[in-house]
Structure 1
Amino acid sequence: VRIAMQQDKANFSREQITAARGAGPARFAYLLRAITRQGRKFKPPALLPVLRHEGTEHIGAEAITKTLGASYAAAERATPVTPGDFVSSSNDVRSLSDCLDVAASPSVVDLLRGFLDLKKGRAPGLSQIPAEVFAANPIAAALAYAPVILKLIARGIGPLQWSGGLAHSIPKGTKDPSSVQGWRAILLLESDAKAFQKAWRPYLLQALDPVRSVGQHGGIPRHTLEQPSALVRAHFHGLSAANQSGGALFVDCAAAYYSVVRDFYLAGPYHNWTDDELQQRAKLFFADTQSQAAFLKDMRDGLWLESLQLPSALHRIVLAQFHRTWYVDGRPGTTLYLTQTGTAPGSPVADALFAFLFSRFLHGMEEFLRGHLASPHIQVQQAEAAEAPAWADDVVILFTARSVSEVEGLLGEIGRQVIKHLRRLGLSANLGPGKTEAVVALRGHGSRDVRRRLLGADCPALSLTTETEEFPKLRLVPGYTHLGTFLNAELSEMANLKRRAGLLASTFKPIRNRLLNNPFLLPTEKRELLLGRVIPCFLHGSGLWRLSTKHEHEVAVGPLYSAFRQCIRPITGSSSAKMTQAEVLAALDVPSPEELLDVHRVRALFQVLRADMRRVCAGTPVAALVADAEDADLSLLSVRLQDQVNWDDVRLRQQQGEALAVLSSCGPGLAHTCHLCNMAYATHRRLSVHLAKCHGIAGKGPQPWWASLRPI
């Protein structure tokens, strides 16, 4: 049975390696989760479902489905509705007032690309028609759906099955699965709806580019996590170089894609609500009167929507996307919900539609920082500054204070402005640990007193409450995990390197036990697992690491060398004892950790040059490459060929054991000499270790200069 199981695992892994080749390490980890039994998307075996909510235990799939569906309705302001009432109230038509150019709408070629981009093996919607049906003949599918798209643009209303889907519950992994907070929902759309959204997504991104914030990334082609991370690192490095005070406020929104108010797409003449209905919707979305008044003003004048300058055909597609959105709480579902907010998380256009709305928040914070002279002035794209780098809904507010005494007041005002601007969009900041937190850099005269006042408590926090308004407290932390990288104000890499080493160990152990030790996998396949799954886990964001000390460099390459050495026996069948690091690399035919770091630095260099962010890379290893980038020929990268391993020599060394023994040592660099033998050492610590191991004398530790003084 064990041999058969190993053969099945080997065949399954071989298929996933082929399927994930070229798709990146994230897709590779997703496909291997059934064997490694880890990761956010790993599904453990289903046990008897029990859910505790509001003092009541819900037992059984139907009761839990109904409870989770009702909990999701709070974020999307959804209300239950009967299918008959929903269908009868969805027959309205948004008539055309002007002629539209059909050439500006998604074409048959765009639909063909959408059907070809459908991923296989994904869960279907309520109809249970998988994507493989359309992938069997995408040309026929595109020709069949082209008239439907023209009808959608003409009527302004899409098919009902395209405006909603099945709310599939997924456990969060880090929270208690017996509570509603331990689950989140993702919308399972129909396959043809996904293909249509993939067809008009490029048009949406093209319209987003001129209106988005400079530091706004996420979901945009050719934008990577390194770009917002580089902006944050550049800010802290600039504060250190100029000996200035400032900091960064890391903001995490709670259920952003579910609760964002999307009515702004219908502002001006594009809605049919009366003033009373608009006021009711304002009370539904916002709790404070200021946000309600701002919403009513935006809906009446429609200036923000007009500033987007969306093409008419694209705008009508967006309106059809948000018309009468709904979800069913499971399969088989118990309740149909009609939603009022959100951009349908799980759909191919959810992030782009959210980016339009979220750009209002980013532009508002940028104007506030520039008005208060707190902008960090990190220039990208020639002369534009990026005060609020963001990846989807994870945003960082960078600020600089003119003096250390202004940091507390400025940070408090920034926190209040963040909460106010998020409320204008129907959003709220998640103020839990590790979510919305601030990291401050305090330098200059009086910094010690400010540091004691702000950071002296066991759980440092800054109160944002004023005399007229009540706000929650803001947590102050020494470091923050931003986009997978731990950052602090001093830009020390030790904490981040130790965190990456822990992630490497947790990832490498199941792969080594379940895959590398499998005798039915070929050595080349095991090597591909090592290069495609293990190494990227540790080197995430390594192109921007600042390894300023020798100890940091050792910690950066040590975990990879250790992992390589542990792969010798599973891959080659021989022991790694007495093998040098060069022999380990040659036996596995893998690059050295130093070479891998250089590769990631070159990748970061290209990202910096392509985004015109030369000033951002100051203080990083990329800066040395930027100086010579215009003269260097980066199209040809030299690759060092590994030498062949002389296994006979390795086995001889293993049989002989330790062949070298140090009998004596001396020299100008060895100032600490043992008084019992001829050994000398460079530091007092090494001498103390020698005395304890060889002579049984306990070390006294380093002695101060006054310890040798004698009274006269």
Structure 2
Amino acid sequence: MLAYARAQGLSAGLIFIDLSAAYYAVIRETLFGKGLSDRPVEEIAAALNLGPEDLQELARLIEDEAILPQQQASEFMQEIAREFHQHTWFILSGDSTMVATYRGTRPGGSLADILFSILFGQALKRRKSGSLNAAIPSIPWNGERTPFAPPCTAETPHRDVADVVYADDLCIPVVCEVASQLRHTVSAVAADTFDTLAPHALRVNFGPTKTAAVVAPVGPGSRQARQEMFGTLRGRAPIWAESRGMQWLDLVARYRHLGSVIMHDGSLTADVKHRLALARVAFRDGKRRLFACKDIPLARRATLFKSHVLSTLLAGVGSWPRLGACDWKLFSSGVFSLYRQLLGLRAEGKWNYTADQLLAMSGLPSPQCLLHIERLRFLSQLVRHGPDEIWALVGQFEQYKEALRDASGWFLSAVGATVGLGPIDQDWPRWSDFLTHSPGKWKGVLKRAEAWYSEAVRLRATFDGIVRTAWQSRRPSSSTPLTGLTHGCLLCGLAFASQQQWGAHAQRLHGYRNAATQHAKGRVCWACGSQYATQARLRCHLLSSARCLQFLQQGGTQVPPPDTGTGHVQAPVLRGWGQAHLPQAQPEVCYELLCGLVALQGASDQQIYDEVSRHVAPLPVLRRTLSDWRDGLPDGDLRASASDVLLVLSPEHLCSGFAGRGLDEQVEADNFQPILLPLRLCCPAPAPPVLAFGVPHAGWTSTWNLEACSVQQVDLSLLASLHSRGVRCHGVFVDFPAPPHGSLPLLSPPPGPLRRLREHCEWTHKLLQVFCCLHRTATLGRPACLRLALKHEHFEPIATWVDQSSLIQARRFDIEQEVSSGASMVSSM
């Protein structure tokens, strides 16, 4: 709703209403009419503190507008409902005395849900303020239940989206063309709703997490509207309800509704963090005895992890639109973090697994698969049971349509050849028919798609392991893991890959706070005079404005006592006198260290180092401070001592360990580039024969002068089992069996039946192991040849690496590939 209003340039708000003991407070006579009991209505409603006008309206509703008779329910239905709600009682926990009750429906039963839904719905329809109809969002919709409807025109009919009701939770969307009128519209709609619910004994719970509103003013006048609502009124709107007088409605920036966190700007960051937090809590509850217990097989732990942790994480994410780059990184890294904990990699200390290897070891779906499956499942529910209002909104939600296109592309890449569906935006009628009339088959196809991607992941994981066994990484290896690092803790002797990692360590163990945090007092920047909504916003301002921060660090102004009050997150910034009087920003230094160094007279290098190590600050800042101080010294022993300290002031010389994870380890793991080294021919002893699977090619044996050598046939399984070290022989030749389903791309097979993919993966797995064995044999100085009935482009990137190796040195290792036409190509290295 907020996305649609923003796209149309409308100011919008969502009013969330929480009812107090909704099921217990229902006055049954409003459902069934009078005569349910012999007690007067005033006595039944005495505990509800209804005013005289509300009691009079309640009596009128019971006499003339009872819900079930008004809905023309059958006599049998009314009698059954009456019987269920007569002579009711309950027992308090730990007590044996029965207590009679004359109010409320029977909580926990399906009849209670039905009756309360009927009552709640009819009560909302009785709102009297017809002048507020303009606040109801009206969405253009031509009546087609499709996300990919043609563009709307002026003649397109509209669909009103009035109330979103689930059990006793109510959300009222409102829109307003003028931003300055948004607060008045929200107040009027809320007051009308409260006045309507009061005679039905439905009481409203007030509070930021109970009954509140999320508003998003946009367009001309929005800044003034934000200043009024979040500055002057401090995030509260007055509600003038006739039944209760004036009350205050909290205007919140975020609200948790039905398990989702809704932000005023439509961002999903808070919702992603919330769901990941719930998943971590679910994982932590069973970590010790279940998920991290090595006595339980990993496959069983993964199954329980999927049902207990992933189900908590994925509840409702099918309605997410396409995630932005930051939100996707947050979600993906959170999922992989849980997978790593399940695998227990922290204890092993090994982090350089690729994403495919992690997924193959755990047997769990990738984050992409999790999102796409949930979106497609939600789409199937929407097609079968979604109301028209949702379809009208989906047709206007471009980000969600992009997410559906991504999900359908993922789906068709796996099973497109078996389901006969085209792209979802071009073949929607067939998609809709399939989802509507074959729900069971749809669930099976989704499971097949998930299994297809699981097999593809295992195939890529095998490839990642094989190529890293056959070749070394092109990334230059340092003599020590501390080489090239610039961040470290001098107190603990630990090096870090980034300032963020060091900052977390220093804050946790040494009480470190950066300069922006130290000088962010209150909400006003006393360097430029700007007032921010919260202290966190002020801190962000100081982090981004070096001129203001350095002015405050140098004591350029007398800062008054900070304002301890907190503002609203949506309050606009009130600009002050500006930065024209501020000096230009200089490179960051540690002023406390600089003062300590200036006080030194005739100090040795050890005394200088002790002074530097006393201060907790980023190591580059300490080096820069020491360098600036040294540059201002005259030639002499003190300057020489400072230069000596600068020479050793780096993690490589002062740190004995590395903490955390390198920034480029995962990047390097997922983007492997091999070092192609020249191979040397070693003359073997005359005893070893030529190992072969199949008949060695005459051209190959003559090239390497192997005609006189004996040939010993070997099994492919033996070669595959020796893939990590190769074989000792005079030479090795393998005429590998043809692919089971023709020449297909090695790592990206086309969509098709799952059985065909499994056969292709099994063949590829053995091929990669045999190739690795032959390559390791070639590194020992023995000629090796692999004959394949596979196209050159289908054996990428190995074929390219072999071709590049052939340009480096003479022929040592051959791969002969036969194309479908019968021609052959020999590439050597």
Q: Which residue matches 1:456?
A: 231
Match of 2:124 among 336, 358, 362: 362
Query: Alignment partner of 1:524: what SS?
Result: helix
| Aligned counterparts, 1:101-116, within 5 A | none
In structure 2, C-alpha distance between the alignment counterparts of 1:648 and 1:387, rounded to whole Å: 55
Determine if contact 2:318/2:374 at 8 Å carries over to the other structure. yes
Q: Give 1:501's aligned residue.
A: 276
The answer on 1:346 being equivalent to 2:104 is no
Return the offset for 1:278: 4.3
Residue equivalent to 1:244: 10
Shift of 1:560: 0.5
1:326 corresponds to 2:73 = no
Which of 56, 60, 64 is equivalent to 1:301?
Answer: 64
Quickly say closer, same or farther: Cα 1:369–1:503, change in 2 above 3 A. Answer: farther
CA distance in 2, matches of 1:397, 1:455: 21
Give the conservation status (yes or no) of the 8 Å contact 1:369–1:375.
Answer: no
Q: Could you tell me which residue of structure 1 aligns to residue 210 of structure 2? A: 435
Q: Deviations over 1:592-615 (max 9, x none)?
A: 110110011112222332224322
More deviation in 401-410 or 284-293? 284-293
The amino acid that maps onto 2:122 is R
Unaligned stretches of 5+ in structure 2? Answer: 144-157, 406-423, 436-441, 479-483, 487-496, 504-514, 516-542, 548-582, 586-829
The 8 Å contact of residues 44 and 102 in structure 2, kept in 1 or not, is answered as no
Counterpart code for 1:293 = Q
Q: Closer, same or farther in 2 for the Cα pair 1:660/1:506, shift >3 Å?
A: same
Q: Which has the larger radius of gyration?
A: 2
Pair 1:630 & 2:429 matched:
yes
| TM-score, L = length of structure 1 | 0.55
Deviation of 1:475 after TM superposition, in Å, equals: 0.6
Q: 1:405 aligns with which of 165, 180, 190?
A: 180
- The alpha-carbon deviation at position 335 of structure 1 amounts to 2.8
Give aligned pairs, total: 440
Q: Does 1:260 align with 2:26?
A: yes
Q: Assess, with a 3 A threshold, how the Cα gap between structure 1 residues 588 and 452 changes in structure 2: closer, same or farther.
A: same
1:438 deviates by 0.4
Contact 2:51 2:243 in 1 (8 A): no
Write the distance in 2 (CA, Å) between the matches of 1:442 and 1:608. 30
- Give the Cα–Cα distance (whole angstroms) in 2 for the partners of residues 401 and 369 of structure 1: 16
Shift of the 595–369 alpha-carbon distance from structure 1 to 2, 3 Å rule, reads farther
User: C-alpha distance in 2, partners of 1:522/1:369?
Assistant: 64
How far apart are the structure 1 equivalents of 2:48 and 2:499?
A: 68
Alignment partner of 1:600 is 2:374: yes
Aligned AA for 1:621? Y
Cα distance change, pair 314–398 in 1 and its aligned pair in 2 (3 A): same
> In the TM superposition, what is the alpha-carbon distance from 1:338 to its structure 2 partner?
1.2
Conserved? CA contact 1:256–1:393, under 8 Å? yes
Given the alignment, which residue of 661, 664, 668 partners 2:476? 661
Correspondence for 2:648: none
Q: How far off its partner does 1:660 sit?
A: 2.5
Q: Does 1:374 align with 2:135?
A: yes
| Amino acid in the other structure paired with 1:643 | R
Counterparts in 2 of 1:13-28, with a 5 A limit? none
Distance 1:369 1:475, change over 3 A: farther
- 2:9 partner letter: N
Distance 1:370 1:467 in 2: 17
Helix, strand or coil: the match of 2:191?
A: helix
Q: Give 1:282 shift.
A: 5.5
Shift of 1:325: 1.1
Higher mean alpha-carbon deviation, 428-437 vs 297-306, is at: 297-306
**1:586 paired to 2:360:** yes
CA contact (8 A) 1:250 1:396 kept: yes
SS in 1 for 2:229: helix
Q: Distance in 1 between matches of 2:129 and 2:300?
A: 54
Unaligned runs of 5+ in 1: 1-234, 664-673, 677-686
Counterpart residue type for residue 93 of structure 2: G
In the alignment, structure 1 residue 415 sits paired with structure 2 residue 415: no
Q: CA deviation at 1:581?
A: 0.7
Cα distance in 1 for residues equivalent to 2:476 and 2:64? 86
2:326 is aligned, of 551, 562, 581, to 551
1:238 maps to amino acid: Y
1:152-172 C-alpha deviation (Å, 9 max, x unpaired): xxxxxxxxxxxxxxxxxxxxx
CA distance in 2 between counterparts of 1:370 and 1:643 reads 62
Aligned to 2:400: 621
Is 1:475 matched up with 2:475? no
Percent identity, please.
Answer: 23
Following the alignment from structure 1 to structure 2, what is the Cα–Cα distance between the partners of residues 448 and 555? 31
Structure 1 counterpart of 2:118, one-letter code: F
558 and 267 in structure 1: CA distance in 2 versus 1, 3 angstrom threshold: same
**Residue aligned with 2:206, SS:** coil
Which of 1 and 2 has higher RCO (CA within 8 Å, sep 6+)? 1
Paired AA for residue 498 in structure 1: K
C-alpha displacement of 1:648: 12
CA-CA distance at 1:406 after TM superposition: 1.5
Contact 2:32 2:67 in 1 (8 A): no
Identify if the C-alpha distance between structure 1 residues 405 and 702 changes in structure 2 by more than 3 Å, giving closer, same or farther: closer
Aligned partner of 1:588: which letter?
S
Q: State the alpha-carbon separation in 2 of the partners of residues 312 and 398 from structure 1.
A: 37
Q: Aligned partners of 1:280 and 1:499: how far apart in 2?
A: 45
Question: Offset at 1:459?
Answer: 5.0
Q: CA deviation at 1:328?
A: 1.6
**Is the Cα contact below 8 Å between 1:245 and 1:443 reproduced in 2?**
yes
| AA aligned opposite 1:660 | R
Pairs within 5 Å for 1:78-157? none
1:372: Cα distance to partner?
Answer: 3.2
Q: Is the 8 A contact 1:431 1:474 kept in 2?
A: yes
Shift in Å at residue 469 of structure 1? 5.7
| Paired AA for residue 500 in structure 1 | R
Shift of 1:482: 1.0
Greater displacement, 319-328 / 516-525: 516-525
Tell me, in whole angstroms, the C-alpha distance in 1 between the residues paired with 2:321 and 2:3.
10
Distance change (3 Å), C-alpha of 1:325 and 1:381: farther
Contact 1:515 1:526 in 2 (8 A): yes
Greater displacement, 509-518 / 337-346: 509-518
Q: CA RMSD in A?
A: 4.0
Aligned to 2:53: 290
C-alpha deviation, 1:247, in angstroms: 0.2
Distance 2:33 2:7 in 1: 47
- Residue 273 of structure 1, CA deviation: 5.1
